Copies of this chain bind each other. A is one copy, B any other.
Amino acid sequence: MSQDLPTTSYALLGLLTFGDDLTGYELKQRADRTLRFYWVSPAMSQVYTELARLAGHGLVSARDAGPNKRSSKYRITAKGRRELATWLESEPVEFPTLKHPVALRLLIGHLVDPATTIGLLRDYLGSLAARRAELAQVRESLRGRDDLDQPFHHPSLVAEWGLEYFDSERDIVEKLLRRLEEQG
């Protein structure tokens, strides 16, 4: 029965488990707010492709709302919920993948002068702070709906995890930067 879909498909399906029905467009917005920080934010076109696939497997159902067959809302089906729970329990869970262009550039730092590397890391600290602020705003927006029995309890746990990750990354890079500045 287990369908074995790509992970992004399960991720989008998961975003439909919070008690509301969404259009493809709205689903993309939710992905931009949450999924982006620890998975990917799929392109608009892929959201529609995935919704069509999920509907083909009977994991979501489409319901027309607007007058012109537009704005159809998607709802997760009972089968979709079972499928998601099975996926969640399936072993083994893949190890996280990190694609870190900054670390990658630091690796070949011997090709350029130290000032370039230092500038690279300073820029990174800036974008890290900006990204952290975005996530902090998301976390704040869940306040009041994040109690133990409320739908956004787990999303808020994940958001807090992300904030701690950003803080730790900042600390590590700051320390590294001090080290490079002393050498250079």
Binding site for B on A (CB under 8 A): 7, 10-11, 14, 17, 34-35, 37-40, 81, 84-85, 88-89, 91-112, 116, 120, 123-124, 127, 131, 148, 151, 153-155, 157-158, 161-162, 164-165, 168-169, 172-173, 176, 179, 183
B100 contacts A88, C-beta separation under 8 Å: no
Task: Note all chain B residues with C-beta closer than 8 A to A120.
Answer: 88, 93
What separation, in Å, do the CA atoms of A34 and B104 have in the docked complex?
A: 10
Distance (Å) between the CB of A88 and the closest chain B CB? 5
B169 contacts A14, C-beta separation under 8 Å: no
Give the oligomeric copy count.
2
CB-CB nearest in chain B for A37 = B98
Distance (Å) between the CB of A4 and the closest chain B CB? 14
Task: Note all chain B residues with C-beta closer than 8 A to A108.
Answer: 14, 17, 84, 88, 154
B176 contacts A161, C-beta separation under 8 Å: yes
Task: Tell me which of B39, B88, B165 contacts A116 (CB under 8 A).
Answer: B88
6 contacts between A and B (CB under 8 A): A38-B104, A92-B123, A95-B127, A106-B158, A107-B154, A165-B169
